[in-house]
Chains A and B, each alone.
Chain A
Amino acid sequence: MTSRAFKNRTHRGAMIAASILAAGSLAILTGCARGSAEPAATADPDEEVTLNFAWWGDASRAERYEAAIDLYEEKNPNVTIQTSFAGFGDYWTARNTEAASRTLPDVFQMDLAYLAEYGGFQHVLALDDYLGEAISTDGIEESLVQSGAVDGKIYGLASSSSTLANFYNEPLLSQLGVDVPEGQITWDEYDRLLADVTAAGAASSPVVYGSLDYSQYFWLFQIWLGQQGLSFIEDGELGFDEADLAKWWSKSNELQAAGSVMPPERQAQLEGVDALGAAEIAADTSWANFLARFSEGPAAPELTLAMPPYDEAGNTGMFLKPGLMLSIAANSEHPAHAADFIDFLVNAPEVGAIFGMSRGVPASSTAADGIEANELDEKILAFQDEAAQHLDGTAPPAVRGFGTLEQTFVAISQDVAYGASSPEEAAARWFAEAEVVLG
């Protein structure tokens, strides 16, 4: 009889274990069902509050955030802010698992690539109630605020913005005897310039190429689409067809064949070093605020910023891309305090002074006022002011799977660069992927 009792007991133990397990997996599976507490309209300044705040970025960004947080805690002695940060990839792995278990940090950095998932599935709060109230938007360009929208509500507020720019290493171009372009440059002129650089730079050590294969730049493709009168996403669906993408990627074949751009074999080995910063290429297209990063490269190149190529005046396809965005978790217990903290990070001139241009050009003019611009910052600001007069495109809206669309674009463009796929095959492949992603 003792043995039966024992059996019963183990059986019961197993049952308990199994039910814990089942409950655990159920919690994992259905963990998204719980709603959040009703947000308080305004923050009670006397309440003792701890906010969690997470971002991706390097050590220098961490130092800047910590300095800004020290200031904030000084002004709000009842608020304690706990921080964590990681690289972009690990950061999102952590956030995604937290989203599944509804334990997201109160405030965290958001990217356009994931905004639709987090906003559309109600993992972050709609900020509309706070915008113009706890979070001032007076100094922020309206289109930039709207770029944080998903289904008509704002789920992330950009703290900075950027535009694409062509970078030229002018001293290197002169040294190679290639004319430095002035004013508007058309696509054909740009391609010719790149070919000239490669022809002149073949004898240098290291060999200098015109540029990197720009057909793999997802964001340059965006403005090219704008110039063709197309858009990336239209009413939640792709706003262009396979032939358009094949046409874009066929540029890769032309560039590689003409030798205008660095071969992919070399480019693949450049990890951790920018080809432009190492002066292995004389021109490139990237975000204007990367000027500091490229200028600090091993060759310390002296770079100038110019508009990316376009064929007709008044049709640049250019737009302001929202930079680092900030969101409030739906599971936050102190959304009003979180909103106040976001207002501080986005608008405070002191924060602007701490970050300078490292986040991009500040979204808020009040934050920008705090910046003591150095020479490079002046260049970026001057370029973005000039570009602001030519913005006739629109930033792609946040849609679910945007991050996947971008990453597969880059991966598949490699096939074209290596000659493993024709532009048509590659375009068909990307469209098949997009169909799965957009559903």
Chain B
Amino acid sequence: MTADTLTPPVTTPAEPPIPQAAPARRNRRKWEDIRAGYVFLAPWLVGFLLLTAGPMVASLYLAFTDYNLFTAPEWVGFDNFIRLWNDPDYLKAWQVTGVYVLVGTPLKLASALGVALILNAIFRGSGFYRSAFYLPSLVGASVSIAVVWKAMFIDHGPVDSVQQILGFPAGGWVGDPEKTMPMLILLAMWQFGGPMVIFLAGLKQVPQELYEAASVDGAGPIRKFGAITIPMLSPVIFFNLLLETINAFQVFASAYIISGGTGGPARSTLFYTLYLYFRGFRDFQMGYASAMAWVLVLVIAVVTVIFFRSSKLWVHYAGDEGR
């Protein structure tokens, strides 16, 4: 504080003391406000710097090194990134993750929107149904659900029994490389609760007058859905799509549990993050794993930018008409 007490009194010695004291007090109060802000922010800030930003910076450095956890990292330039493109398992991991993102995410959103539309139409007991349908996504992220899911799709499990009654060939899905992806996508679809609640909130915001006006003009339910509901809901769809896509890129727990921590059978559940984990913690190739992590970050960043750019074309914000 020496700096601010030194200069002002020297340059303006003749000025009356009162006007000078007021800004000082105000400044002090402002400073105290700011300080209080930082104090309240500190727990998060410390956590962010030490647990997120620090490791991220470190991993960016490690991505350019050969690091096995046991000896000091050794700088190798772009070697890790070059190796990625010649690694068949890495390309397989992209393929698995890509199918999950491209097929799983739209299906999950469709099921969420479907349920939201139904719940929006129900008046009696809607609160109960809303909670009941939201429940799976509360517990859904946990390990236990993946275990239950696996038990359902195993040989002689409930799904196997049903498909035999319906005349499909017998056999669990867990051991069949062709069926593990559908199984995981079904699991994702079943966890529709999060986006559903957001859709439901969005549906409540759509003004009833629009539907009434459309009815007067003779529009049927499908026309109303396409011309009113979807455009009015587009900001919410955009939000959900973005969030769910980013989540889908990072899926780990369900694949880890269902494959018994192997990414199998025959690499059919070798998701990107699972493979990254194997390389880092099973094979001690931390540099290589860091490179994988940063490629994923960049890909997600690019996808996000594309989403935001394209949103101008299809996302309709109510109140934008004047522009």
Contact = CB atoms under 8 A, between A and B. Distances in A.
A binds B: yes
A3 B26 CA distance: 12
Interface in A381-433: 401, 403-404, 407, 411, 414-415, 417-418, 420, 429
Interface stretch (A92-100, A239-247, A306-314, A363-371): A92-100
With most chain A CB atoms within 10 A of its CB, the pick from B31, B69, B176 is B69
B58 A411 contact: no
A437 B278 CA distance: 13
B71 interface: yes
Contact of B27 (A2, A265, A415): A2
Interface in A1-17: 1-6, 8, 17
A118 B70 contact: yes
A112 to B, nearest CB: 15
A437 B283 contact: yes
Contacts of B262: 411
B175 A121 contact: no
Contacts of B53: 21
Interface in A21-71: 21, 24-25, 28-30, 32-33
Q: Which of B70, B154, B177 has the most CB of A within 10 A?
A: B70
A265 B70 contact: no
Nearest to B72: A30
A268 B69 contact: no
A6 B31 contact: yes
Contact of A28 (B58, B71, B266): B58
Contacts of A3: 27
Contacts of B176: 265
Contacts of A1: 3-4, 7-8
Given A267-B175, A418-B266, A4 B70 contact: no
Contacts of B24: 2
A264 B7 CA distance: 82
A226 B265 CA distance: 30
Contact of B73 (A17, A29, A97, A401): A29
B284 to A, nearest CB: 7
Nearest to B150: A271
B114 interface: no
Contacts of A213: none
A144 B267 CA distance: 36
Report whether over half of chain A's contact residues are helix, strand or loop; otherwise say mixed: helix
B282 interface: yes
Interface string A64-107: 00000000000000000000000001001100110110000000
Given A93-B281, A265-B171, A403-B282, A418 B69 contact: no
A4 B3 CA distance: 9
B177 A418 contact: yes
A437 B282 CA distance: 12
Contacts of B263: 411
A425 B77 CA distance: 30
A269 interface: yes
Contacts of B221: none
Given A264-B265, A414-B266, A2 B54 contact: no
A29 B72 contact: yes
27 contacts: A1-B3, A2-B4, A8-B3, A17-B49, A21-B50, A21-B54, A24-B50, A25-B57, A25-B58, A29-B72, A96-B69, A96-B281, A99-B69, A100-B70, A121-B71, A268-B264, A268-B265, A269-B154, A269-B175, A401-B283, A403-B283, A414-B265, A414-B267, A415-B267, A417-B266, A418-B265, A420-B266
A-B interface, 10 closest residue pairs, ranked by CB to CB distance from nearest: A268-B175, A1-B4, A121-B70, A265-B175, A418-B266, A25-B58, A404-B283, A268-B265, A2-B27, A269-B175
Interface of B: 1, 3-4, 7-8, 24, 27-28, 31, 34, 49-50, 53-55, 57-58, 61-62, 68-73, 83, 88, 154-155, 171-172, 174-177, 260-267, 281-284
Interface of A: 1-6, 8, 17, 20-21, 24-25, 28-30, 32-33, 89, 92-93, 96-97, 99-100, 117-118, 121, 123, 264-269, 271, 401, 403-404, 407, 411, 414-415, 417-418, 420, 429, 436-437
Given A414-B264, A436-B83, 19 more contacts: A1-B8, A2-B28, A2-B31, A4-B3, A5-B3, A5-B4, A21-B57, A25-B58, A29-B72, A92-B281, A99-B69, A117-B70, A264-B265, A264-B266, A269-B175, A403-B283, A404-B282, A407-B283, A420-B267
